[in-house]
Chain A
Amino acid sequence: MTMNLTSSSPLFRLDYGGKLEREIANLMEAFATHKLDATRYPSRWLAIKLLEADADIIEHVRTLPNGEKVIEIAKQSSEKLKSWLGDDVDMLIADRRYGFINGIVRQALKRPSMDRITLTDRIDDIVTHKWLGLPIFFTMMYIMFRLVIDVSAPFLDWTDTVINGPIARWFASLLDLVAAPGWMHALVVEAVIGGVGGVLVFVPGLLILYFFLALLEDTGYMSRAAFVMDRFMRVVGLHGKSFIPMILGFGCAVPAVYATRTIPSRRDRVLTALLVPLMSCSARLPVYVVFGLAFFGSSAGTVIWAMYALGILVAMLAGMVFTRTILKPDASSAFVLELPPYRAPAFKSVLIHMWENTREFVRKAGTVILFASLVMWVLLNLPWGVTNQRDSYFGRVSSMIAPVFAPLGFGDWQTGGALVTGFMAKEIVVSTMSQIYIGAEEVEEPAEPTTFLGDLSEIGVGFVDAAVNSGKILLSIIPGVNLMDEEAEEQDTVLSRALREHFTPLSAVALLIFVLLYVPCVATLGAIKHEFGTSWAVTSAVYQTAVAWIAAFIVYQGGLLLGLG
């Protein structure tokens, strides 16, 4: 199609409607009256551009003789049109053009039938199936946690060896070099290496967890998970939109509580915020991993998956109770969720996602957890010179709390104290246990003195070994392939070994259930208070702690009755 752009009567002319056309004509008349040299552009086009207040054209016209007068007339016309038609002229003109284009498209274009079945539709038929959807979701979660635990285990062991071996030795040598006093040695070894290092050991596991979460998100499966769970949640009387904040709760409960704002009804928002902390956030993962590896070996992945599933199950039950008591349902609205087409994940974006989330964890370890570890160390050593940690301020307060946990199978002061510190952030449970159980141990001295280069070489060789073992484990997941030695050494951390002296498998499970369900961290309670007020924050803290205690009690005492203890 060609158009004559220079002629004063073009082949095609879009009709902009009575009032607009009248002002265009008036402006074209003004060009002639003021003898504006408009030969460079078609005069109608120039008039439209001036009415649209096109900056380039105004600048051009301003340079022409009588240009300012014409611009003034165009400005008056635009204002008149705006007051008549209630919108900016450029918007009105664009609206006309889009309307015209749409009309042509409707008349001229025949679209292919939209009922063809795409690959996305075929996959969705299975993964969002009425009966298959939920088992597929839980299987996906199970596979993910198996991979997270199994594949990360050699790296976890390597990180533990590096932190408690070469890094601890370097710090000790450095302190010797500056003739640091004994208490400084203890502070660095027990608080910094024992506390912060005890949490940093889990970085490889988190890297792999975030990798898989990013993968599920990038492929589009996460939206399907929300869709599948929506149906399940409605069965137990919850709002369908509630599962979106709950999925966020697997990462961190704080943004998940704020995400409840997308739910229209206040009652549904409150209910969802009360249930979100029951979703197992990633801060609890270090606790699961350390206990899982210490007591359940190759079944650790299954135990961790069971914790996540239990969190969802308890949330469902709690939702049912709240719905029938203090939060009776109001009129429910439809749950509209867009399911994007499946796509191959962008490797770079998955890596960025994985790194950014892990960086947050490391940053937290360097700030909140370091601070808490230092405070803990001080409390464990006051009054100054105390020889038995049980006699410290921390030990005394923890001893007072400990009997509450005795019926749950972990009534020692160390665990009681660690659980209290977990109120600050759940990872601190691990850092506190690290300090109490292994912090006082001497740094492992190698049989022969090592050099800096020797240490570096040990770190490098250990990393390669870990990578090879992880690769073997990953390949062994394929049915029929087993690259692992039959008597492969169990991956273990220093803390895992120490915990076996204080817990039985049954009391470890009770503790994991308690950690999963008990009072949300202070940041989450702050978010609930901010959104819904103090009374709901208190409700959340009290009901979760009560549920956690009851659940751990049932598991531990039930286990004892069944002879599992």
Chain B
Amino acid sequence: MLTQLLSLLEARENGLSLFEISRQMKAQPSAVQSMLNLLVQKGRLIEIGPDGKYCSTCGLESNCQLLAVHGKRYVSAAQFSKKDEAICLEANPAETVI
């Protein structure tokens, strides 16, 4: 199951949400969530969300418009490069009004 989940996310550049993963794996979200937590804890996945590794260092999560539109997502750590990390910062400059 974990390897299947990792392969699924490695093939998705922009990651997937919990519900998208559940649909793809034909499993209940609650079951998938515990696997995702384990993989995030092991550093194999990056959680892009208000409680996630990336957002917790960003400091703008309450103001993040990307997050507001896309919701919490999981990205393979192997896929998540420095360039991707910059997306959120640049998308939420200090001048962000909404």
Contacts and interface: CB of A to CB of B under 8 A. Distances in A.
B1 A102 contact: yes
Contacts of B33: none
Given A95-B1, A102-B1, A248 B98 contact: yes
Nearest to A213: B98
B58 interface: no
Contact of B69 (A95, A259, A281, A364): A259
A283 interface: yes
Contacts of B19: 338
B35 interface: yes
Nearest to B69: A244
Interface in B3-37: 3, 14, 17, 19-20, 27-28, 31, 35
B51 interface: no
A251 interface: yes
A282 interface: yes
Contact of B71 (A98, A259, A338): A338
A222 B98 contact: no
A107 B3 CA distance: 21
Chain A: interface size category: 35 or more
A361 interface: yes
A251 B64 CA distance: 12
A102 B14 contact: no
A215 to B, nearest CB: 13
Nearest to A363: B94
B69 A248 contact: yes
A213 B68 CA distance: 11
A15 to B, nearest CB: 16
22 contacts: A88-B42, A95-B3, A101-B31, A102-B1, A102-B31, A111-B28, A217-B68, A222-B69, A223-B69, A250-B98, A251-B65, A251-B96, A251-B98, A254-B93, A255-B93, A261-B87, A282-B97, A283-B97, A360-B95, A360-B96, A364-B95, A364-B97
Residue with the highest number of chain A CB atoms closer than 10 Å, among B17, B65, B91, B98: B98
B74 to A, nearest CB: 13
A498 B69 CA distance: 41
Interface stretch (A38-46, A269-277, A351-359, A508-516): A351-359
Contacts of B78: none
Given A226-B69, A259-B66, A94 B97 contact: no
Given A98-B2, A338-B17, A282 B98 contact: yes
Given A338-B17, A338-B20, A252 B98 contact: yes
Contact of A340 (B3, B63, B71): B71
A111 B97 CA distance: 45
Most buried by B among A283, A336, A352, A356: A356
Contacts of B94: 360
A340 B29 CA distance: 13
B57 interface: no
Contact of B96 (A98, A222, A255, A338): A255
Contact of A259 (B17, B65, B93): B65
Interface of A: 87-88, 90-91, 94-95, 98-99, 101-102, 105, 111, 210, 213, 217, 222-223, 226, 244, 247-248, 250-252, 254-256, 258-259, 261-262, 281-283, 336, 338, 340, 352-353, 356-357, 360-361, 364, 523, 530
A99 B62 contact: no
Interface string B65-98: 1101111000000000000000100111111111
Given A248-B98, A252-B96, A357 B68 contact: no
B89 to A, nearest CB: 9
B69 A357 contact: no
A223 B3 CA distance: 32
A210 B65 CA distance: 13
Nearest to B26: A106
B91 A258 contact: yes
A177 B51 CA distance: 53
A523 B97 CA distance: 12
Given A99-B1, A244-B69, 20 more contacts: A91-B44, A101-B31, A102-B1, A210-B98, A217-B68, A222-B69, A248-B69, A251-B96, A252-B96, A254-B93, A255-B98, A259-B65, A259-B91, A261-B87, A283-B97, A338-B71, A352-B62, A356-B62, A357-B63, A364-B95
A361 B42 contact: no
A509 B7 CA distance: 56
Given A90-B42, A352-B62, A262 B14 contact: yes
Nearest to A210: B98
Nearest to A98: B1
Nearest to A425: B95
Contact of B2 (A94, A259, A340): A94
A258 B98 contact: no
A353 B67 CA distance: 13
A258 B90 contact: yes
A64 to B, nearest CB: 28
B36 to A, nearest CB: 11
